[in-house]
Amino acid sequence: MVPKTGGMNTTKVNIVKWLKNEGDALKQGEPVVELETEKVSYELDAPVEGVLLKIMARERAEVEVGGLLGYIGKPGDAIPTS
């Protein structure tokens, strides 16, 4: 999910570039995706250790704060359908 950006009055971000691909292993704190707002560009780190199961928001997409970027889980985990 797109986190609220501390102190900024941002409602949407743009996906600049995914730094990981579906199926890649992730370590907690490792950069996963580059995002930008009207004023700043930043990397979003993996909140937990796991695997990037599915990318839901593609590069150049605009996503609202709180919106879904992708799913992180364990290999073989089911991806929610709703």
Confidence of residue 4 (pLDDT cuts 50, 70, 90): low
Question: pTM here?
Answer: 0.86
Domains along the chain with CATH numbers: 12-73 (2.40.50.100)
For residue 58, is pLDDT > 60? yes
What is the residue-averaged pLDDT of the chain?
Answer: 90
Residue written as tokens 């919106």? 67
Q: What is the pLDDT of residues 5-29, one digit of tens each?
A: 555 577 899 999 999 999 999 999 9
Which residue in 11, 2, 77 sits closest to 47, CA to CA? 2
Tokens of 80: 């929610």
CA angle 46, 49, 55 (to 5 degrees): 55
